[in-house]
C-alpha cells in the first residue's frame, strides 16, 4: 500500500515511522524532515500548498493520503484529495470546523447536548464585556479561529478578561481568527486527552494521553505546544472512558452525520476531569504533538489498514493498543517558547537511540552540510515504551542525556502525575 503523509513535525514522523512498519506499506511524505527521511520518501511540497499537494498525489497515485496538521484540513485539503480520487484520512473542510471554529464547536455541543462549559459567542466588544461583567471571574476568553495555541486567555479577573476580549476582537493580534470570540465558564480539574479513529458513523478508540503544556518543571512558566506526554493518562478509567464515548464521541459522530458533515479522521478530545466527571474543552481534528508519538509506540496491528478503512467509511478493528505505557520527552531550543536560535548542531542521535532503546522523533530539524541542525522551537521527541511509566521515563531520559546538543533543553518531570 502506498501512503502519502502531509506535514513535517514530530507527529508526522511518528505516523510515518509507524506506518512504515506495516507489511507492504510504502510511505511518502510532503514536505517531511530529516527524521522522516529515514522511514519515508520526502517530497519538497509544503503543507499549505494545497494545489501542489494534489499535483504530488496525482504523480504518486497513493492508495491513502494521511493529513497531519489542522491548517490544510481547515482550508479543505481532504475535499480536494477526495475529489481527485484519493482516499483520505482527515475530515472535510466542513467537518474540520470542529477545530477551525470554536464558535461552531460550542454551538454544536449545545445542539447535541454534549457536556461542556457554559458559554456565549460574540463579535461585538461591548456585548462581550457586558457578559463578562455578568458572569464574573475566573472566566475563559477564546478566539474562535485557529491561533496556533495562543488564542486562549484563562482570565483571573474581569478586567483581564475584558482586555483579552477587546484585543481579540480588534484584530490586532489574531486577525480574522479573533473576529468572533467564545467566552466560556472556567472549568476546574485535571486535563487529559482522548483519541478516536472515526469513519463517519463508526469509531475505534486509541485511548488517552496527558501532555505538559507549561515550559518549566512543576508546570511553571509560559505555555508551549507541549513539552512531553505519556499514554495512557493516569486518570483514565473504564467508567470515565464510557462517559467520553457515550456522551461525547457517539453523539458527535451522529450529530455531524445528521448535519451532513460525516467525520472521517481522528477526533482528539481535550477533556477536563473533576471528581470523576468529564467535560469537553475542545476537539482537535488531527493528532497532537507530542501525544501522537506516545500513541504510535503503543499501536499494535495494521495501523495503515485502519486509517484506510476509516477513510473509506468501513472501519474494522485492525489494531489494539499495547498495555505498555509510552512516554515522550520534548527537547526544545533554549529560549522557546520565546525567541530561540536556529541552526545549532545536534549530534549523537543514532547512538542515543540505539544505546537505550528509545525512539527519537524529529519535530523541527533540517540537514545542513551533513549535520542535523535545530530548525524550530520544539526540535526532538525522545520517546520510549516499557512495562511501566517509570521504566519508559528512565529509558527516555537516558537517551536525552546522550543527545549532544548544548543549545537544547527539556523538562525533567514528564509524567510526574503518574509517578
Ligand X SMILES: Nc1ncnc2c1ncn2[C@@H]1O[C@H](COP(=O)(O)OP(=O)(O)O)[C@@H](O)[C@H]1O
Q: Is the peptide bond before 31 cis (omega within 30 degrees of 0)?
A: yes
Among 43, 115, 179, 186, binds ligand X (CB under 6 A): 186
Among 12, 79, 184, 291, binds ligand X (CB under 6 A): 184
User: Quick check: 154 binds ligand X (CB under 6 A)?
Assistant: yes
Encoded one letter per residue, x for contact with ligand X by CB under 6 A and - for no contact, window 273-292 reads --------xx----------
- Restricted to residues 81-110, the positions that interact with ligand X (CB under 6 A) are none
Question: SS3 string of the chain?
Answer: CEEEEEECCHHHHHHHHHHHCCCCCEEEEEECCCCHHHCCEECCCCCCCHHHHHHHHHHHCCCEEEECCHHHHHCCHHHHHHHCCCCEECCCCCCCHHHHCHHHHHHHHHHCCCCECCEEEECCHHHHHHHHHHHCCCEEEEECCCCCCCCEEEECCHHHHHHHHHHHHHCCCCHHHHCCEEEEECCCCEEEEEEEEEEECCEEEEEEEEECCEEECCCEEEECCCCEEEECCCCCCHHHHHHHHHHHHHHHHHHHHHCCCCEEEEEEEEEEEECCEEEEEEEECCCCCCHHHHHHHHEEECHHHHHHHHHHCCCCCCEEECCCCEEEEEEEECCCCCCCCCCCEEECHHHHHHHHCCEEEECCEEEECCEEEECCCEEEEEEEECCCHHHHHHHHHHHHHHCECCCEECCCCCCHHHC
User: Quick check: 163 binds ligand X (CB under 6 A)?
Assistant: no
| Of 8-16, 28-36, 78-86, 183-191: span binding ligand X (CB under 6 A) | 183-191
Are the beta carbons of 225 and 287 closer than 8 angstroms?
no
The nearest distance, CB 197 to ligand X, in angstroms, is 20
User: Quick check: 214 binds ligand X (CB under 6 A)?
Assistant: no
Pick one of ligand X, Mg ion, none as the site partner of residue 416 (Cβ within 5 to 8 A by kind).
none
d(CA 350, CA 358): 10
The nearest distance, CB 222 to ligand X, in angstroms, is 13
Encoded one letter per residue, x for contact with ligand X by CB under 6 A and - for no contact, window 399-418 reads --------------------
Pick one of Mg ion, ligand X, none as the site partner of residue 117 (Cβ within 5 to 8 A by kind).
ligand X
- Restricted to residues 253-292, the positions that interact with Mg ion (CB under 5 A) are 270
The nearest distance, CB 117 to ligand X, in angstroms, is 4
Among 3, 64, 129, 140, binds ligand X (CB under 6 A): 140
Size of the site for ligand X (CB under 6 A): 15
Closest CA to 396 of 336, 325, 303, 322: 325
Nearer to ligand X, 151 or 364 (CB): 151
Pick one of Mg ion, ligand X, none as the site partner of residue 184 (Cβ within 5 to 8 A by kind).
ligand X
d(CA 359, CA 350): 9
The nearest distance, CB 133 to ligand X, in angstroms, is 18
The nearest distance, CB 151 to ligand X, in angstroms, is 6
Nearer to ligand X, 186 or 241 (CB): 186
Nearer to Mg ion, 146 or 400 (CB): 146
The nearest distance, CB 236 to ligand X, in angstroms, is 17
Pick one of Mg ion, ligand X, none as the site partner of residue 187 (Cβ within 5 to 8 A by kind).
ligand X
User: Quick check: 269 binds ligand X (CB under 6 A)?
Assistant: no
d(CA 283, CA 288): 11
- Kindly report the CA angle at 54 between 53 and 60, in degrees rounded to 5? 85
Count the Cβ atoms, other than its own, within 10 Å of residue 324. 17
Encoded one letter per residue, x for contact with ligand X by CB under 6 A and - for no contact, window 242-261 reads --------------------
User: Quick check: 149 binds ligand X (CB under 6 A)?
Assistant: yes
Nearer to ligand X, 190 or 368 (CB): 190
The nearest distance, CB 289 to ligand X, in angstroms, is 12
Encoded one letter per residue, x for contact with ligand X by CB under 6 A and - for no contact, window 296-325 reads ------------------------------
User: Quick check: 270 binds ligand X (CB under 6 A)?
Assistant: yes
Cell numbers representing residue 389 in the block: 511509566
Nearer to Mg ion, 178 or 200 (CB): 178
Q: Which stretches of the chain bind ligand X, using CB under 6 A?
A: 117, 140, 142, 149, 151-152, 154, 184-187, 191, 270, 281-282
Q: Which stretches of the chain bind Mg ion, using CB under 5 A?
A: 270
Amino acid at each position: 500500500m502506498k501512503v502519502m503523509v502531509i506535514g513535517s513535525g514530530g507527529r508526522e514522523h511518528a505516523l510515518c515511522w509507524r506506518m512504515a512498519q506495516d507489511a507492504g506499506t510504502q510511505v511518502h511524505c510532503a514536505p517531511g524532515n530529516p527524521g522522516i527521511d529515514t522511514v519515508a520518501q520526502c517530497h519538497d511540497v509544503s503543507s499549505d500548498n494545497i494545489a501542489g499537494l494534489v499535483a504530488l498525489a496525482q504523480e504518486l497515485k497513493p492508495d491513502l493520503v494521511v493529513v497531519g496538521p489542522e491548517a490544510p484540513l481547515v482550508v479543505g485539503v481532504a475535499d480536494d484529495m477526495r475529489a481527485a480520487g484519493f482516499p483520505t484520512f482527515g475530515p472535510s473542510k466542513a467537518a474540520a470546523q470542529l477545530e477551525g471554529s470554536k464558535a461552531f464547536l460550542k454551538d454544536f455541543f449545545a445542539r447535541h447536548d454534549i457536556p461542556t462549559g457554559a458559554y456565549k459567542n460574540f463579535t461585538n466588544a461591548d456585548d462581550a464585556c457586558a457578559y463578562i461583567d455578568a458572569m464574573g471571574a475566573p472566566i475563559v476568553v477564546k478566539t474562535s479561529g485557529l491561533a496556533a495555541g495562543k488564542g486562549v486567555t484563562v482570565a483571573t479577573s474581569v478586567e483581564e478578561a475584558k482586555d483579552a476580549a477587546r484585543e481579540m476582537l480588534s484584530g490586532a493580534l489574531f486577525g480574522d481568527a479573533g473576529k468572533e470570540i467564545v467566552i466560556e465558564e472556567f472549568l476546574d480539574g485535571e486535563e487529559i486527552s482522548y483519541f478516536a479513529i472515526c469513519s463517519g458513523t463508526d469509531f475505534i478508540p486509541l485511548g488517552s494521553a496527558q501532555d505538559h503544556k507549561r515550559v518549566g518543571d512543576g508546570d511553571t512558566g509560559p505555555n508551549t505546544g507541549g513539552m512531553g506526554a505519556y499514554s495512557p493518562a493516569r486518570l483514565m478509567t473504564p467508567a470515565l472512558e464510557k462517559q467520553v464515548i457515550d456522551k461525547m464521541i457517539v453523539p458527535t459522530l451522529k450529530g455531524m452525520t445528521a448535519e451532513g458533515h460525516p467525520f472521517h479522521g481522528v477526533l482528539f478530545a481535550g477533556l477536563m476531569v473533576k471528581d470523576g466527571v468529564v467535560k469537553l474543552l475542545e476537539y482537535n481534528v488531527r493528532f497532537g504533538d507530542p501525544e501522537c508519538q506516545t500513541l504510535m509506540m503503543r499501536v499494535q496491528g495494521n495501523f495503515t489498514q485502519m486509517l484506510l478503512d476509516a477513510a473509506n467509511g468501513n472501519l474494522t478493528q485492525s489494531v489494539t493498543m499495547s498495555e505498555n505505557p509510552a512516554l515522550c520527552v520534548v527537547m526544545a531550543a533554549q529560549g522557546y517558547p520565546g525567541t530561540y536560535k536556529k541552526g545549532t548542531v545536534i549530534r549523537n542521535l543514532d547512538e542515543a537511540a540505539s544505546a537505550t532503546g528509545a525512539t527519537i522523533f524529529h519535530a523541527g530539524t533540517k540537514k545542513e552540510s551533513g549535520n542535523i541542525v535545530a530548525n524550530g522551537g520544539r526540535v526532538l521527541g525522545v520517546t520510549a515504551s516499557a512495562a511501566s511509566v517509570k521504566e519508559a521515563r528512565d529509558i527516555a531520559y537516558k537517551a536525552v542525556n546522550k543527545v549532544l546538543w548544548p543549545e537544547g533543553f527539556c523538562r525533567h518531570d514528564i509524567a510526574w502525575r503518574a509517578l
